[in-house]
Amino acid sequence: MVWDVLVVGGGNAALCAAITAREAGASVVLLEHAPRAFRGGNSRHTRNLRAMHDAPAGVLTDVYGEAEYWDDLLRVTGGATDEHLARMTIRASADAPAWMSAHGVNFQPSLTGTLNLGRTNAFFLGGGKALVNAYFAAAERLGVTILYDTEVTDLELDNGAVRAVNTVSRGFPLTLQARSVVAASGGFQANIGWLREYWGEAADNFIIRGTPFAQGTVLRDLLGHGVQQVGDPAQCHAVAIDARAPKFDGGIVTRLDCVPFSIVVDRAAWRFYDEGEDVWPKRYAIWGRLVAQRQGQIAYAILDAKAAKLFMPSVFPAIRAGSIAELAGKLGLDPAALETTVSRYNASVRPGNFDSAALDDCRTEGLDPPKTHWARTIDTPPFIGYPLRPGITFTYLGVKVTERAQVLMRNGRPVANLWASGEIMAGNILGKGYLAGFGMAIGTVFGRIAGAEAARHAGN
Amino acid sequence: MPETETMREARRVMEICNACRYCEGFCAVFPAMEMQRAFSDGDLTDLANLCHNCKACYYACQYAPPHPFGVNVPRTFSLLRDETYRNHAWPRLLARAFARNGTVVALVTAAALALVLLLTGWLVAPGTLSHAWIGPDAFYRVIPWVAMTGVAAATLLFSLLALGIGGVRFWRASGGGVPVRRGDVLRGLHDAVTLKNLGGGGHGCNDRDEAFSMARRRFHHVMAYGFLACFAATCIAAFEAYALGRPAPYPLFSLPVIFGTLGGIGLLVGASGLMALKLTADPVPAARRLLGADVALLALLWLAAATGLILLIFRSTAAMGALLAIHLGVILALFVLLPYSKFVHAPYRTLALIRNAANSADRVQ
Ligand SMILES: Cc1cc2nc3c(=O)[nH]c(=O)nc-3n(C[C@H](O)[C@H](O)[C@H](O)COP(=O)(O)OP(=O)(O)OC[C@H]3O[C@@H](n4cnc5c(N)ncnc54)[C@H](O)[C@@H]3O)c2cc1C
Ligand code: SF4
Ligand code: SF4
């Protein structure tokens, strides 16, 4: 049979597209590489979506208008965005929550959380897996055919249109035909071999925070067929996470928020960056890269008892010791070197009024690199250490799309029957940096557009 | 006491949840958890008994099995609650009743039935059991009044004492000392009788699988209120008999019969519904080992209601004597088993809810 719409992927972007296309009357098949238990890509690890609103709406408090949203985006991307697409996404995010609710997603009144996002972000009750479950249930109810354990290996793209889609489905080759195709297969961050092309052997020490199924097979295939690329292929969003995290799928719990209250040293027990440069939400995302650039892609946050309770608890126990030398031993660092680093740091700490919640005046003097806030002496046992590694969230490389989500060839012409949504095209709008909840906003907005356009094309 | 495997697992799971917190909107467990950084055995016992086993957090969990972290909060907490029941049983010796609770409940019920039947056969004149007695105090011709009320009152009082002692021990062991105001007690009771936390934050529980439904909450309500109605019927009847000198049986449109009938129907419907949900539910988030205990209590409540209703229908026939003996046998078993069956979840859960009300009032201030 020839399907009206074939959707590649099983995350937020794919599900939004599949549901929308099916509701428009198309016959829809959704191909998910993961088995059912691990369906939902990185989307299963998410927690919230950033939505514009001109008045309090549902769980969203106060006002978060287009101008402010755009400013926030401009700031984090440093201009690496497409204003037209970005503003369109921002405006369309306003009715995302209502659509999501209508398709079974429940929101939670914003409670505590680490970041205070109740104004800008709507939190999913139960998190991303609950959202993914709701969407799969909605898709099944509507009659979307879902194939798990089905990896798309390549698209037969020729003469400006996708002719067939080749897959391996539960171990067997399977070729499908469809009038319209939506590519929503995420980034390539789980493909260590591909990351190695830019990062060399360092990539072997990266930990992938989300799904192991983000291999970028479809992305690479499309670029190989002459599709236009966006986003810096060498860049990825990376944060410092606990080095004890599993290689894949460790998700949110491996996050470590202790850096601003610590000193961070590398393998040689030397400091290398100002840990107190800014409030954590603003510096959260630079530490992945910083650690990735150190020897062995590993670093260690060192704290003392005073700081033990200043940050969200993390999933792995803190490594504790009665003295700095003992701690160094437990972390595999040279005790003398760590003692020197700590005593030098302690000697340079100036007195100030410590305030964990604000940019306080506790800083070092005459230290290189300095620690410009929250600098307090590390002198109260038990001393605490956490090992850090780069945790890759997603990659920026993607395919170029129009505002109707249609995929463009390098020659500037659209592929007649191919649309893209989610991480695979996020680089059009988010070329750099990150804004909490924006990934899901892009996937939802473009997923719905892609689904509608794909269904319309199939109907013609 | 050496720490059990279940306690260790509960701690591991709560440490993962505390670093994640995605489920904080589902129920009272997660906000209570967020108050701690490290979990003592008492904290974990408290959290486990606060959990209503709605399973929302299992289906929402990105770390649920087969993820290597294997987070399964409802299953872990079910097992930990079972430990609570054993640890706080009084007298201690009877903690063993929880080891194979399904079997114990069945055996005690059978024993109580046999006992009542034997005693009636022995105590009353030959032929009494098969005679169609009607009119006031017909029941007491079959089983003498003193025997009936005496045995019932004694077992019930003992059971209430056992439940009370268990409750006090639980309260001490699971964190004790928060100052509790009257408002906290009321709020805790309110949360208990409305099953506020059995609804996944308002959208329903995962009764059987990923889909949300309110079925479990509704069946539980029907059952619990049915139970209370039956209890009320018994109290009213006792009052009429003692204070007004009007012994049972009562006419169809009297308060005890109306309460008893409605309550009995509620118990039947609720217990059947809950049993059906239990038996058809996805087994992964459930603790298989405890299925016997769950089903046994439901079956016992069902039997109590069914035998009561049958007695009502046939009370003016020759079968009345035997039916009465059977019904009383089941009721006796129920009274005896209150502190040694899954029923104990009710007082422990209520106490945990009261503590939670007190703690969250503190949090707000
Ligand atoms: C720990 C973590 C937390 C995050 N939290 C948030 C948050 O709170 N808010 C937010 O907005 N963003 C968050 N993000 C980013 C967010 O996950 C992504 O922006 C978003 O999920 C992308 O959705 P997607 O559908 O494009 O990709 P994914 O959800 O990754 O889905 C890609 C899908 O494609 C499938 N697939 C891949 N290749 C193939 C193939 N060849 N054949 C068939 N199927 C294939 C995968 O199995 C997967 O199902 C977070 C990311 C991580 C890692
Ligand atoms: S049950 Fe899973 S998703 Fe929910 S808080 Fe715990 S770890 Fe997070
Ligand atoms: S009540 Fe439900 S959501 Fe809360 S801990 Fe228990 S199973 Fe999880």
The pTM assigned to this predicted structure is 0.95
Q: Which ligand is nearest to the CA of B191?
A: 3
- pLDDT confidence bin for B150, thresholds 50/70/90: confident
Minimal-distance CA residue to ligand 3 atom 6: B51
Give the tens place of pLDDT for each residue, A149-171. Answer: 999 999 999 999 999 999 999 99
Q: Is B257 helix (H, G, I), strand (E, B) or coil?
A: helix
- Minimum mean pLDDT range among A111-125, A384-398, B70-84, B86-100: A111-125
Write the CB contacts of A248 (distance below 8 Å, at least 6 apart in sequence). Answer: A190, A207, A208, A210, A211, A212
What mean pLDDT comes out for the span A254-271?
96
Could you give the C-alpha distances from B293 to A128, A319, B87, B207, B307, in angstroms and in order? 35, 42, 16, 18, 21
B249 within 8 A of B139, measured Cβ to Cβ: yes
Tell how many helices (H) and how many strands (E) occur in chain A: 13, 19
CA count, 13 A, side-chain hemisphere, A67: 2
Q: How far is B82 from chain A (nearest CA, A)?
A: 26
Give the tens place of pLDDT for each residue, A341-391. Answer: 999 999 999 999 999 999 999 999 999 999 999 999 999 999 999 999 999
- Minimum mean pLDDT range among A173-187, A315-329, B280-294: B280-294
A138: nearest CA partner in chain B: B211
Whether the per-residue pLDDT at B24 is higher than 90: the answer is yes
H or E, element range at A372: none
Nearest to A393 by CA among A275, A249, A293: A249
A417 within 8 A of A162, measured Cβ to Cβ: yes
pLDDT at position B234:
85
Ligand 3 atom with the smallest distance to the CA of B28 is 4
Segments in A103-204 forming alpha helices (H): 128-142, 192-199
pLDDT at position A83:
97
What mean pLDDT comes out for the span B1-12?
91
- Looking at chain A, the whole-number percentage of residues with pLDDT higher than 90 is 93
A399 within 8 A of A185, measured Cβ to Cβ: no
A60 DSSP assignment? B
Pocket lining: A45 vs ligand 1, CB cutoff 6 Å: yes
Ligand 3 mean position, distance from CA B64 (Å)? 14
pLDDT at position B203:
81
Residues of B near A (Cβ–Cβ under 8 Å) read: 15-16, 18-26, 31, 34, 37, 56-57, 59-63, 66-68, 200-203, 210-211
pLDDT at position A182:
98
Q: What is the ipTM of this complex?
A: 0.95
- Between A139 and B320, the higher pLDDT residue: A139
pLDDT at position A113:
45
Give the tens place of pLDDT for each residue, B172-228. Answer: 998 766 788 999 999 999 999 999 988 777 788 888 888 889 999 999 999 999 999
What mean pLDDT comes out for the span B85-101?
92
Q: Which ligand is nearest to the CA of B55?
A: 3
